[in-house]
Each structure stands twice: as C-alpha cells, then as structure tokens.
Amino acid sequence: MLVERMRAFGTTIFAEMSALAAATGAINLGQGFPDTDGPTTMLDIAADGLRSGLNQYPPGTGRPELRQAIASHQRSHYGLSYDPDGEVLVTVGATEAVSASILALTEPGDEVVVLEPYYDSYAAAITLAGAARVPVSLRPTTPGGRFTFDPDEFRAAVTRRTRAVLINSPHNPTGTVLTRDELEVIATVCVEHDLVAISDEVYEHLLYDGGAHVPIATLPGMRDRTVSISSAGKSFSVTGWKIGWICAAPPLIRAVNTVKQFLTYTHSAPMQLAVAYALDNEMEWVDALCASLAGRRDRLASGLESVGLSVTHPQGTYFIQADVRAIGLTDGEAFARSLPHDAGVVGIPTAVFCDNDEVGRPFVRFAFCKRDEVLDEAVNRLMGSRTSS
C-alpha cells in the first residue's frame, strides 16, 4: 500500500539497531542520545509548566518567549540579527524543520545537493518532496583523518535543476566541523546559482579542542538565502523533547511555516518555556557538558583503538567513526550487524547514510554521549570478543 516513491525506505536504522540492542541485551552506542538529563532548573520549569496549566496549544510559530530567546542566542553567539516575530519559527525538532523546509522550497524534479554521509531523514524528506538528491562525498584526508569534500566535486554537482543545498555542520555522522574556507566554497556556489542553503546546525555547541562553529548565514550573501536550523535536544541533553527552530528571512519563514502548520501546527508549550530559559541562562552548563563529552570522546576512542580499530577523532557531535579495515575487514555494515550478537555492543554502519557505497562501507559510527562506566563496559565487551575470535 505504500506509495512507490517511499518503497525504498523501511524502518530507520536507528529503530532497527536499537531494537536489536534491546533483544540481545547489547550496549547501545548506536542511537545518539545521552543517558543523563539536562540542567535541573530547566527540567523544573518544564514540570512547573505542566502543573500550572500550560497544556493547550501555544502559538503555531512558537511561544514568544522562546522565539525571543532564539533571536537573542543568534545575536549573542554569531552576530546574526533575526526578528523573533517574523524570522524565527519553532518546530518539532530539527527533523521536522529539515523536512518542512525541503517540502516548502523544492518542487518535483528539483535537485538538492547534500553532503554524504547524511542523516537518514534527509533522503526521505527529499523523496517526499519529489526532488532528487545529489550527493557530494565527505572522505577522510588520511586513514583516521578528518572527513572533507572536494570543492571541484561540489561545484560540479550543481546543475540547472539544483534548487537547494542541504548541509550539516558539525556533521553527523563524521564529526567534521566545516571550516570557513569550506563554507565559502558552498556559499559562493549558492550565490552564483541563486540557491537556498538549508543548514542543520543541531550540534552547534558540541565542539572540542577549541573548535568554532561558523554558521553559513554569516557569510557574504547568505543571510537571506539560508534556512538555519537547530534544536535544544543536543545542547541541553533533552533529545526526547523535540524542540527545534528555524531562523531565516521572512519569505523563507513564511514558505516553511505554510508547510509546517499542516504537519504538526504546534508543540509542547511547557518545554518551549523551559528551552527559552535554558538558552538565556544555561550556556555555562553546555560548556561543562562539552568538556565532559571531550573526555568521553577520548575515552571511547582510546578503547576502540585498543581493540585494533582505526578511529577518527571528531571535532564535534556525539560520534566517532571507526574503520574496520584496521582489523582486516572491509564491510563495516556486516561488522556492525554482527556486533550485538558477538560482543553485546551496537554501532551504526555508516554505509546506510551514503549513496556511494565506497564512501561509507568500511566505517561504523559509535556514540560517546554515555556515562563513563557504559563506555568502559562496551570496550571490555569488544575486547573480550576480539580475544575469543
């Protein structure tokens, strides 16, 4: 009964692997959610909102307190000025923001250039819109090195049918944080070809080793052609709240909201108030979270290396890429699917995020946003599996 254009899409890899983790008792380092909660005061504000009657529809564009907090955040962190009443839209997480943007801004037959590996919802959203995705591959510069793209390959991907560019930085699943030079390549192409940039920045504050996030909207010519997307889930460890947002020029906001209002209309007033508070008051908590995650990144990376895997140390996000070629294998997907049974650990095969099988085939994504003891137990299980094999 499923419409033909969606028949290539089954259960998401995250649901599949999380179900496998539950069935086998494996440690789930696949799905990117933390196993600790966000700031206590933020949680208390959400709970108080539930008890004080904030349980009916908030405005379709989002609570004004949250829209103001988002605008203030963009100004204070990036020098970007947005009108909270006409250039900010609250969404049900970044996933809805991306989907509504693609549905609103692309026509059937249009092309969307996307960096691969890409988050799996991107492909589904582009297909739902009747558009075609055109992948440009991120590849490691050296074994275990940073993933990046070839500027000439990016330029060549644009045709007369291209309508939008969909980027993600800090990048899931590679952990790359796009540099200003890389973003300038993308921005120049967008300006030259009159393209819209849809920029997924949900990991904007999860940066390591002194790295900096540069929103593409800050580059010349990009502010009014960029749909900037972020959310509270990753920054404040509340992935289940699904509070996301878009910042963009009024014509883009109006277009996206025309679609969004018929998808979900609105969402979760108490959580919106809590996120507004967090954006204004809890950024020091986020800084402490980053310091903790950097330590956990290094902890898991060291553990994966101790079992023979080659790893890329990410500049941002929750994720490490492990290369199975270092242990004499070539197929990361086969390795990932065997791990829950053989070692009691779940990772996500990077190949499922790629059109080009060669790009993702050797890699497995592991999440390090877990408590130290969980990461240590995962490594111990992997070590035991390698020893017995």
CB-based contacts of 69, cutoff 8 Å, min separation 6? 275, 276, 277, 279, 280
Q: What is the pLDDT of residues 197-206, one digit of tens each?
A: 999 999 999 9
Q: What is the pLDDT of residues 200-252, one digit of tens each?
A: 999 999 999 999 999 999 999 999 999 999 999 999 999 999 999 999 999 99
* Domain boundaries, given as residue ranges, for the chain: 4-38+284-388, 40-281
40-281 is classed CATH 1.10.3720.10: no
% of the chain with per-residue pLDDT over 70: 99
Q: Measured in whole angstroms, how far is the alpha carbon of residue 290 from the centre of its chain?
A: 16
Q: Give the number of other Cβ atoms within 10 Å of residue 371's Cβ.
A: 13
Q: What is the pLDDT of residues 92-146, one digit of tens each?
A: 999 999 999 999 999 999 999 999 999 999 999 999 999 999 999 999 988 889 9
Q: Give the number of other Cβ atoms within 10 Å of residue 167's Cβ.
A: 24
CA Rg, the chain, in Å? 20
pLDDT at 143: 86
- Which of 179, 190, 191 is closest to 148 using CA atoms? 179
DSSP reduced 3-state for 189: helix
- Flag whether pLDDT at 388 surpasses 70: no
* pLDDT grade for 387, boundaries at 50, 70 and 90: low
Q: Give the number of other Cβ atoms within 10 Å of residue 11's Cβ.
A: 9
Q: Is 182 left (phi over 0), alpha (psi -120 to 50) or beta?
A: alpha
% of the chain with per-residue pLDDT over 90: 92
Q: pTM (2 decimals)?
A: 0.96
Query: Given 3.90.1150.10, 3.30.465.10, 3.40.50.300, 3.40.50.720, which CATH number is that of 4-38+284-388?
Result: 3.90.1150.10
Q: Give the number of other Cβ atoms within 10 Å of residue 274's Cβ.
A: 29
